[in-house]
Amino acid sequence: MKRVIHILLIEDDTLDQMEVKRTLERRNILHRLTILTNGEEAIQMIENTDEDIEKPDIILLDLNMPKRNGFEVLASLRANDRWKDVKVFVLTTSDEVSDKHAAQLHGISGFITKPLKLESPSSLDAFNLMIDLMNI
């Protein structure tokens, strides 16, 4: 019996949001998606002590965002006792090599390379891994 996965997507580009949504739908993954469009909103959510705020199973994080970027969100996550164990996947484009190295230092679970083309297996490796992790 598959459970519904709660995914928090932190991504400013609407096209990228659509892309994630579409991929989840096409792969028939039972999910609930919360979308935040910038790092500041994400940090506010993480730092809010209100117990009513539901912690997601997984976070998909874009690095290049206005106001507060992905690295600041990662730092905030790791500094927070309640959130520090949440699994984080970073959304990147293939040529942001230095960003990938920097993100790795924050102990993330994997990268998802944009664009998420169904026919391109490499870009989906991490996505598959993510789903496998959720299905255990």
Partner 1 sequence: MKIAHIILVSFFSILILFSITTFINYQQYGLVNENAERLERSTLIVRNSNRFQRNFLNMVSGLRGYLLTNETSFLQTYDSAVVENKHILSELTTLVPEGSDQKIILDDIRELQKYWVSEFATPLLEAKRNADISEKENQAFHKLYREKLLNKLEKDVQASLQRKFSDFTNYEYGHRISDRENLAHTVQNTKSISFYLTTISVILGTGIAIFIAHYISTRIVRMVKMANEIAGGNYAVYMQEKGNSELSQLTRALNNMASILGSHIAVLKRQKDEVDQFAHIVSHDLKAPLRGIDNVVTWIEEDHSFDLPPKVNEYLKVIKGRIVRAENLLKGILMYARAGREAPDREVVDVNEVLAEIRGDLGTYTGIALEIQKPMPTLFTQRVPLVQVFSNLIVNAFKYHDKKNGAVTISWREEGEYYHFFVSDNGPGIPELYHQKIFAIFQTLQERDTLESVGVGLAIVKKILDDRQLFVSVTSEPGKGATFSFTWPKHEEHETSNPHPAYRR
Residue 46, SS3 per DSSP: helix
Q: What is the DSSP letter of 72?
A: H
Q: Where are the beta strands (DSSP E) in the chain?
A: 5-10, 31-36, 58-62, 87-93, 110-114
On whether the CB atoms of residues 56 and 8 are closer than 8 A, the answer is yes
Q: Which of 93, 104, 128, 135 binds partner 1 (CB under 8 A)?
A: 93
Alpha-carbon distance of 123 to 24, in angstroms, equals: 14
Q: Which of 4, 53, 79, 118 binds partner 1 (CB under 8 A)?
A: 118
Q: Does 13 bind partner 1 (CB under 8 A)?
A: yes
Q: Does 91 bind partner 1 (CB under 8 A)?
A: no
> How far apart are CB 41 and partner 1 at their closest, in Å?
22
Q: Which of 3, 67, 84, 117 binds partner 1 (CB under 8 A)?
A: 117
Structure tokens at 124: 């989906």
Q: Which residues 43-82 are close enough to bind partner 1 by CB under 8 A?
A: none
Q: Which is nearer to partner 1, 31 or 114 (CB)?
A: 114
DSSP-assigned beta bridge partners for residue 111? 90
Token look-up 């992790």 returns 133
User: Which region, judged by CB under 8 A, interacts with partner 1, from 31-39, 80-88, 102-110, 114-122?
Assistant: 114-122
Residue 102, SS3 per DSSP: helix
Site residues (vs partner 1, CB under 8 A): 13, 15, 18-19, 22, 93, 95, 114-115, 117-118
